[in-house]
Amino acid sequence: MNQVSTTLLVIGGGPGGYVAAIRAGQLGIKTVLVEAATPGGTCLNIGCIPSKALIHAAEEFDKAKHYADGSALGIMAGAPAIDVGRTVQWKDGIVKRLTSGVGALLKKNDVQVINGFARILDGKTVEVKGGDGELLRVRCEHLLLASGSEPSELPFMPFGGMVVSSTEALSPADVPRRLVVVGAGYIGLELGTAYRKLGAEVTVVEAAERILPAYDAELTKPVGAALKRLGVELRLGSSVLGLNADGDGVRVKDANGQETVLAADRVLVAVGRRPRSAGFGLESLQLDMNGRAVKIDDQCRTSMRNVWAIGDLTGEPMLAHRAMAQGEMVAEIISGKRRHFTPNAIAAVCYTDPEVVVVGLSPLDAEKAGLDVISANFPFAANGRAMTIESTDGFVRVVARRDNHLILGWQAVGRGVSELSTAFGQSIELGATLEDIAGTIHAHPTLGEAVQEAALRALGHALHI
């Protein structure tokens, strides 16, 4: 059996793993990256990037339909059509360009990429099985686990046939006439909205009493209103029992115990993701765990010396940008730098229509923490830029301490608010106060003016409301 020795061995080429490998290479650390598929992981290949591409295509198609019979803008167009095959090709082209770029960066920084399936033998030895069945043993000083996560499936309705995960939903051969989405979290609503705009009849089934149950209710109201306008049917407070006997419908039980069958040509199960901690010998290390997630400290160290873990494998929040920051940090610690992973806030974005952004504490979070806070929001209905892009639903909200006005959190819902997340995160990381934001001149006309106006309103003197 061939053997390779390295300083750092990274298992998993997703955002966390490839960033760690690139940074390690920049720092002169001999690095090997093992990835079974194409570098880029779930995010670039079957997650963040392709889903946003599909969402954009669906939005443009829906916009064209909106103009088919004329509009207040004076635009008139004929009835549009969409070639889903070409849409998928376009989406795949974006993915290929990005993953090729990652591969080029790894090569540029002298990272050795091994394509194959890793199996951990011990904390310093990993066996890799290539596509041709050939085995390679890799010895390392440091082992970084970055295996990511995988879609959770329902035991009584496993993936296969008409039951799909987000992976299959992002590469459709066609648009189903009737789609049932199980789960009203961000994945279910993002893809459910896209499919509705592409022409499918969409029904969303959710066990909780409202959509996006991880977000506060005020933020989700504009999303619910938009779903209603689109014609998406919501079955809230309902549980899925499985497929019916004929295999052409989903059995659903409501809060009163009444069972009905929802006709379906395809079923998207989007009930969350779980750490990918099985199937590659992780159990042999006997690491401390939090359920299926690997337990780490604020340097991403596991309970075994020189074994590190980052990203979705370590549990919530399962965000690509968190994994990237952790991967960069681990590489720098191995190189001898002093680093700790202690962010004040990490933005979470839901790419529904309208979008939802959460950074830091909400008013309810602050209340639970026993903090005395001021919170204020500014509606996009009073924002000139929002009016010019026909998107006045939603608002920006700020949360700050009452005593010193230190900003603790931001929330926003509206078209394009994902682009405000950077400003939100920076204000919290830099320790900004309400006065800092209120006193910063914001360009006009922009959606960002709502950020300044929310701070002004918290101080008691908003100008445009």
Q: Please tell me the predicted confidence (pLDDT) of residue 406.
A: 98
Confidence label for 77 from pLDDT (cuts 50, 70 and 90): confident
The percentage of the chain sitting over the pLDDT mark of 90, rounded to a whole number, equals 95
Confidence label for 86 from pLDDT (cuts 50, 70 and 90): very high
CA dist., res. 15 & res. 247, Å (int):
38
Q: Please tell me the predicted confidence (pLDDT) of residue 131.
A: 81
* From 74-83, 203-212, 246-255, the region with the lowest mean pLDDT: 74-83
Q: Please tell me the predicted confidence (pLDDT) of residue 169.
A: 96
**pLDDT over threshold 90, residue 85:** yes
**Mean predicted confidence (pLDDT) in 290-318:** 98
363 cis-preceded (ω within 30 degrees of 0): no
- Report yes or no: 105 and 25 within 8 Å, Cβ to Cβ: no
**pLDDT over threshold 90, residue 71:** no
Confidence label for 250 from pLDDT (cuts 50, 70 and 90): very high
CA dist., res. 54 & res. 170, Å (int):
7
**Mean predicted confidence (pLDDT) in 29-55:** 95
CA dist., res. 236 & res. 113, Å (int):
46
Which residue has 């066996």 as its token pair?
Answer: 127
CA dist., res. 371 & res. 40, Å (int):
40
**pLDDT over threshold 80, residue 30:** yes
CA-closest candidate to residue 170, choices 136, 194, 206, 154: 194
Strand order in the sheet with 201-206: 163-164, 266-269, 178-182, 201-206, 233-236
What's this model's pTM, rounded to 2 decimal places?
A: 0.95
Burial class, 2, CB count within 10 angstroms (exposed 0-12 / middle 13-18 / buried 19+) = exposed
User: Any bridge partners for residue 267, and if so which?
Assistant: 163, 180
Q: Please tell me the predicted confidence (pLDDT) of residue 409.
A: 98
**Mean predicted confidence (pLDDT) in 276-282:** 97
Burial class, 167, CB count within 10 angstroms (exposed 0-12 / middle 13-18 / buried 19+) = middle
CA-closest candidate to residue 147, choices 292, 328, 329: 292
Count CB neighbours of 349 within 10 A: 20
Q: Please tell me the predicted confidence (pLDDT) of residue 49.
A: 96
**Mean predicted confidence (pLDDT) in 5-12:** 98
Q: Please tell me the predicted confidence (pLDDT) of residue 246.
A: 92
Instruction: Give the tens place of pLDDT for each residue, 328-373.
Output: 999 999 999 999 999 999 999 999 999 999 999 999 999 999 999 9
- Report yes or no: 359 and 425 within 8 Å, Cβ to Cβ: yes
Which residue has 């880029």 as its token pair?
Answer: 40
Query: How far apart, in Å, are the Cα atoms of 389 and each of 63, 273, 414, 427?
Result: 12, 35, 11, 26
Point out the residues that are catalytic: 444
Q: Please tell me the predicted confidence (pLDDT) of residue 244.
A: 95
User: Any bridge partners for residue 115, and if so which?
Assistant: 35
**pLDDT over threshold 80, residue 288:** yes
Q: How many CA atoms lie within 13 A of 276 on its CB side?
A: 18
Per DSSP, 280 falls in state S
Instruction: Give the tens place of pLDDT for each residue, 197-243.
Output: 999 999 999 999 999 999 999 999 999 999 999 999 999 999 999 99
Burial class, 336, CB count within 10 angstroms (exposed 0-12 / middle 13-18 / buried 19+) = exposed
Q: Please tell me the predicted confidence (pLDDT) of residue 133.
A: 85
Q: Please tell me the predicted confidence (pLDDT) of residue 192.
A: 98
**pLDDT over threshold 80, residue 1:** no
Q: Please tell me the predicted confidence (pLDDT) of residue 446.
A: 97
User: Any bridge partners for residue 219, and if so which?
Assistant: none
Query: How far apart, in Å, are the Cα atoms of 215 and each of 16, 85, 249, 370?
Result: 25, 34, 30, 20
Q: How many CA atoms lie within 13 A of 129 on its CB side?
A: 7
Confidence label for 78 from pLDDT (cuts 50, 70 and 90): confident
Count CB neighbours of 171 within 10 A: 15
Q: Please tell me the predicted confidence (pLDDT) of residue 231.
A: 97
